[in-house]
């Protein structure tokens, strides 16, 4: 039975927990709803004639997407490790095709897998996110029908992009693969376990590890702080241009080119981090067939070129990437399971305990926040104190007063300062943040 459920969606948006995934629009049978750009990223505009199935109430990641239940339904079991989710195998890897590796955000694995799925006719098209559509500073999900189109959509896009609104544009009878952020992959799986026909046309879900994304205004402020006038428009924007780990590269109509190293433009995070990044408890894309992150370590960073942490979650995907490695398309080195988390301890803690504390604090002050159906079994008081400090920084960072810093302090100084402070803070908070992270366990909340 279908019901008009626009009130539900509007409440999620008003409660500021909407992640902008596009699910509600993608399953609106009227086809009249759409996603609209806002300063917080894409948000749904629900038509008065909308026909959205009630399944939105269990699949919307801004509401109450229940991870433990989804684990039982999709993987038929809970994960052995709640930090990294259900894992089939873990690898260090990169594409052996130089152009794919160079263009990729890390090792080009996501792009190469999609190209391989197309070439072996396992899929008819890949649904990928591409920077530059409809204008250079924006990004959209597109249908890529050829390997070249997939290649042109490689790299990470660090502003929010809706992906699931593409569902009602899929051509019947065709098979697809999609790149999704963690909240979107989980929402899609929820539809699939419900038997939603459109969602079942998506045969492969792949996606990045996801720490933080930025509100679109980050770029506006960045350029303003460099004295770029409004009429000097952006002609090209790349988040991970050049040699890994890459740099933010912006070109403008008057021929100006701005480049900022990845580790330096991270200074934008405290000022523009999205609410979804602070809310999600999923860093490693727990419901993707294939999850890929940067292999951050001194060893790989010295070697350059791009190295990825590669996690397969299903046998089907593990067979595919081993078939690719066997054919010499990609380089894969099998790793112990803890390779999936060892380079990302801080970000995993930021999600698995940090998001839990932040969401709880929001609820305590009467705001909305999802629970995802579980809580960490143990959270030390010291960790709560650390979170209070981090959250205060983010809260202050988003004020106009704090953002004025961007205009006063030159980017070079700010970038170096932020990176130094970040590393210092990582070292100081490491004992508290890593405390018992290896014993992380969860309490599953009863469904009421």
Ligand X SMILES: Cc1cc2nc3c(=O)[nH]c(=O)nc-3n(C[C@H](O)[C@H](O)[C@H](O)COP(=O)(O)OP(=O)(O)OC[C@H]3O[C@@H](n4cnc5c(N)ncnc54)[C@H](O)[C@@H]3O)c2cc1C
- Distance of alpha carbon 79 from alpha carbon 64, whole angstroms: 19
**Piece of the chain touching ligand X by CB under 6 A; list 14-22, 56-64, 208-216, 402-410:** 208-216
- Distance of alpha carbon 346 from alpha carbon 21, whole angstroms: 25
**Does 165 engage in binding with ligand X (CB under 6 A)?**
no
**Does 90 engage in binding with ligand X (CB under 6 A)?**
no
The set of residues, in sequence order, having a beta carbon less than 8 Å from that of 320 and lying 6+ positions away, is 113, 116, 117, 122
Contact 308, 106 (CB under 8 A): yes
Span 335-374, contacts to ligand X by CB under 6 A? 347
With respect to ligand X, which residue has the nearer C-beta, 5 or 130? 130
* The one among 50, 163, 190, 260 contacting ligand X by CB under 6 A: 163
With respect to ligand X, which residue has the nearer C-beta, 153 or 357? 153
Residue 408: CB minimum distance to ligand X, A: 28
- The number of residues making up the chain comes to 448
- Distance of alpha carbon 24 from alpha carbon 193, whole angstroms: 17
Contact 181, 173 (CB under 8 A): no
Direct distance between the N- and C-terminal alpha carbons of the chain, in angstroms, rounded to an integer: 23
Q: Can you read off the two tokens belonging to residue 306?
A: 């791009």
**Does 293 engage in binding with ligand X (CB under 6 A)?**
yes
* The one among 6, 53, 89, 106 contacting ligand X by CB under 6 A: 106
Q: What is the H or E stretch that residue 165 is in? A: none
With respect to ligand X, which residue has the nearer C-beta, 5 or 214? 214
Residue 443: CB minimum distance to ligand X, A: 26
**Does 105 engage in binding with ligand X (CB under 6 A)?**
yes
Say which residue the tokens 């609104």 belong to.
165
Sign (positive or negative) of CA dihedral 140, 141, 145, 151: positive
Residue 201: CB minimum distance to ligand X, A: 18
**Does 284 engage in binding with ligand X (CB under 6 A)?**
no
With respect to ligand X, which residue has the nearer C-beta, 118 or 228? 118
- Distance of alpha carbon 94 from alpha carbon 232, whole angstroms: 37
**Does 107 engage in binding with ligand X (CB under 6 A)?**
yes
- Distance of alpha carbon 40 from alpha carbon 12, whole angstroms: 14
- Per DSSP, the residues of 207-245 read EE-----B-THHHHHHHHHTT--TTS-EEEEEEEESSTT
Residue 130: CB minimum distance to ligand X, A: 6
* The one among 154, 190, 252, 284 contacting ligand X by CB under 6 A: 154
**Does 266 engage in binding with ligand X (CB under 6 A)?**
no
* The one among 104, 132, 216, 373 contacting ligand X by CB under 6 A: 104
The set of residues, in sequence order, having a beta carbon less than 8 Å from that of 46 and lying 6+ positions away, is 6, 9, 10, 24, 25, 28, 33, 52
The alpha-helical segments, DSSP class H, found in 280-328 are 298-303, 315-326
**Does 158 engage in binding with ligand X (CB under 6 A)?**
yes
**Piece of the chain touching ligand X by CB under 6 A; list 58-66, 202-210, 365-373, 421-429:** 202-210
With respect to ligand X, which residue has the nearer C-beta, 180 or 369? 180
* The one among 21, 87, 110, 202 contacting ligand X by CB under 6 A: 110
# residues near ligand X by CB under 6 A: 31
**Does 153 engage in binding with ligand X (CB under 6 A)?**
yes
Q: Can you read off the two tokens belonging to residue 60?
A: 């919307």
**Does 273 engage in binding with ligand X (CB under 6 A)?**
no
- Distance of alpha carbon 305 from alpha carbon 249, whole angstroms: 18
With respect to ligand X, which residue has the nearer C-beta, 156 or 225? 156
**Does 265 engage in binding with ligand X (CB under 6 A)?**
no
Residues that bind ligand X (CB under 6 A): 104-111, 128-129, 153-158, 161, 163, 179-181, 208-211, 213, 292-294, 308, 347
């Amino acid at each position: 039975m279908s019901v008009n459920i626009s009130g539900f969606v509007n409440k999620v948006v008003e409660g500021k927990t909407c992640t902008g995934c596009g699910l509600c629009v993608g399953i609106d049978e009227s086809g009249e709803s759409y996603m609209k750009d806002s300063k917080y990223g894409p948000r749904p505009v629900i038509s008065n004639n909308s026909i959205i199935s009630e399944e939105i109430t269990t699949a919307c990641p801004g509401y109450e997407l229940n991870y433990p239940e989804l684990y039982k339904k999709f993987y038929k079991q809970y994960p052995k490790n709640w930090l990294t989710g259900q894992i089939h195998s873990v690898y260090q890897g990169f594409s052996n095709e130089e152009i794919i590796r160079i263009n990729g955000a890390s090792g080009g694995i996501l792009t190469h897998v999609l190209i391989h799925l197309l070439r072996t006719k396992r899929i008819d098209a890949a649904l990928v996110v591409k920077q530059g559509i409809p204008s250079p500073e924006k990004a959209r999900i597109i249908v890529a029908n050829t390997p070249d189109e997939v290649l042109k959509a490689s790299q990470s896009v660090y502003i929010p992009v809706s992906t699931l609104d593409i569902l009602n544009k899929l051509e019947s009878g065709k098979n697809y693969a999609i790149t999704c952020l963690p909240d979107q992959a989980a929402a899609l799986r929820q539809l699939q376990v419900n038997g939603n026909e459109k969602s079942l046309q998506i045969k492969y879900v792949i996606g990045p590890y996801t720490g933080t994304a930025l509100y679109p205004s980050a770029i506006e402020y960045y350029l303003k702080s460099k004295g770029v006038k409004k009429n000097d428009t952006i002609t090209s924007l790349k988040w991970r241009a050049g040699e890994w780990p890459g740099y933010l590269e912006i070109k403008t109509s008057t021929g100006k080119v701005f480049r900022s190293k990845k580790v330096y433009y991270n200074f934008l995070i405290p000022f523009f981090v999205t609410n979804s990044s602070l809310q999600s408890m999923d860093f490693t894309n727990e419901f993707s067939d294939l999850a890929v992150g940067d292999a951050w370590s001194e060893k790989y960073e010295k070697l350059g070129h791009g190295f990825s942490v590669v996690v397969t979650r299903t046998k089907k995907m593990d067979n595919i990437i081993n078939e690719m490695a066997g054919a010499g398309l990609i380089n894969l080195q099998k790793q112990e399971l803890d390779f999936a988390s060892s380079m990302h301890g801080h970000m995993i803690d930021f999600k698995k305990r940090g998001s839990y504390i932040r969401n709880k604090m929001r609820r305590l002050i009467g705001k909305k926040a999802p629970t995802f159906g579980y809580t960490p079994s143990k959270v030390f008081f010291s960790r709560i104190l650390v979170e209070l400090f981090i959250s205060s920084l983010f809260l202050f960072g988003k004020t106009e007063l704090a953002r004025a810093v961007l205009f006063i302090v030159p980017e070079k100084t700010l970038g170096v300062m932020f990176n130094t402070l970040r590393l210092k803070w990582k070292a100081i908070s490491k004992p508290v943040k890593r405390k018992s992270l290896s014993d992380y366990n969860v309490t599953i909340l009863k469904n009421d």
